[in-house]
Structure 1
Amino acid sequence: MTAYDSGVPGPAQPERAPEAFPTSGPPPVPAGPGVRPPFAAPPVRKEPGKLALWLILGGLGVVVCLVAGGIGLGGALISAYNDTDREARTAVSDYLDALRDEQYGDAYRMTCRAHRKEVSEESFAASKRGAGRLDAYQLDTILPVEAPDSDEPEPAYAVPAELRFDDGSVDYRHFVVVREPLKAPKPGDKAADAEFGFRVCGEQTRRPTPNPT
């Protein structure tokens, strides 16, 4: 029978003393804010050359964006001017075609509303008949001018023209055009829905070229 079986306690086993430090490895880093590790990484040294390079590249990028924006704006302005020039010269060309074909009523309806208020269709036709029969013409690039009396506060342009008549005479005139609604607005119509176009709103006569014959 053993001591355990007999109920008699055996000899007590000696307790092992706790180890003060782990048997291997460095001491653990205490946790908590504000505690620096025992071996901090060295600070990174910034190179001034790279910083200057990035600043130069950034400045060049800004310059490129500004130049590209200026080119785009300039191209848009040139395109708008070309469209205006084409529309204005088309309006004068249609007007002169009607005069050449002696369609004075059609030419009268191509004039601006301010002109039609001052001059009747009969007076207009009589004056154009007495001016001689138009044979040919040549138009030049538009010129911005001061707007005449018109119902619409729109910019005005002058279209220089060289006119040749059937008697051989040559005349130079500036046809002033303004942008107006092509149709009279109806009650309830919105101004934004109106279709605009150029109409002839007067002529500025220059000294005619002497007849070479």
Structure 2
Amino acid sequence: MTTLGAPPPQQQGPPPVPEPPSGPGVVPPFPAPPVEGRGRRVGLGLGLGAVVLVLVLGGGLAAFIGLTTVATRALNEQADVVVGDYLDAVRDKRYGEAYDMLCQQTKDDETEAEFTSRVSAEEPIRSYDVGDVELVQMSAPVDVTYADGSTAELRAYLAQNRRTGGFEVCRVEE
């Protein structure tokens, strides 16, 4: 029994959650997470991620191979020009020009007069063919044909000029 003016009795704990109504087509009072298609979405996401990864890595590899190929061709071309100019000067008996094309270390070891004396005593070169640079040894093979018709395979050792960055011939030997 309640008396007038007395507060209503208090309930203990949270209010009771009503039971969802039963029957077909009834919506539950809270949303349920979707379960259809979850595996397909995860698989599609992983597949697309793998395709993007392959494209990025493949593009990086292709760029690296292209850069390496271009750099190697540029080094071979520069070595061919430098060794060719040096051998042309020796062949044409322009020993002063040939001496000026040598690297600084060789110039420090041999004077121009010693160089001219040594090179002029060698068999004259008629033709030559410069091969590809070997970066480990910084050298290029040179197939030489001498004036008397004999042939030899020489090796032109190169150094890089610190000021210009270009190649210089240090020595040519068998």
- TM-score range (shorter-chain normalised) is 0.7 to 0.9
2:165 to 158, 172, 196: 196
1:168 has 2:141 as partner = no
Pairing 1:47-58 to 2, within 5 Å after superposition: 47=37, 48-58=39-49
* Aligned pair partner of 1:96 in 87, 102, 109: 87
Deviation by residue 1:169-207 (Cα, 9 ceiling, x = unmatched): 2121000011114xxxxxxxxxxxx422111112231xx
Q: CA deviation at 1:41?
A: 6.0
CA distance in 2, matches of 1:125, 1:41: 99
CA distance in 1, matches of 2:105, 2:31: 85
Q: Deviations over 1:70-120 (max 9, x none)?
A: 111111111111111111111100000101111000001111100011111
3-state SS in 2 of match to 1:144: coil
**Who is 1:43 aligned against?**
32
Matched with 1:60 is 51
Q: CA deviation at 1:123?
A: 0.9
The structure with the largest alpha-carbon Rg is 1
Percent sequence identity is 25
Distance in structure 2 (CA, Å) of the matches to 1:195 and 1:117: 19
Shift of 1:39: 7.4
- Confirm whether residue 178 of structure 1 aligns to residue 159 of structure 2: yes
Partner Cα separation in structure 2 for residue 171 and residue 108 of structure 1 = 22
Distance across 2 between alignment mates of 1:59 and 1:197: 44
* TM-score with structure 1 setting the length: 0.64
Give the structure-2-normalised TM-score.
0.77
Please point out which of 124, 128, 140 is paired with 1:137.
Answer: 128
CA distance in 1, matches of 2:169, 2:106: 9
Q: CA deviation at 1:42?
A: 3.2
More helix by share: 2
| Structure 2 portions without partners, runs of 5+ | 1-26
Partners of 2:149 and 2:28 in 1: CA distance: 105
Moved beyond 3 Å, runs of 4+: 38-42
CA distance in 2, matches of 1:52, 1:144: 47
Partners of 2:57 and 2:136 lie apart in 1 by 32
Could you tell me which residue of structure 2 aligns to residue 191 of structure 1? none
Residue identity in the other structure for 2:159: V
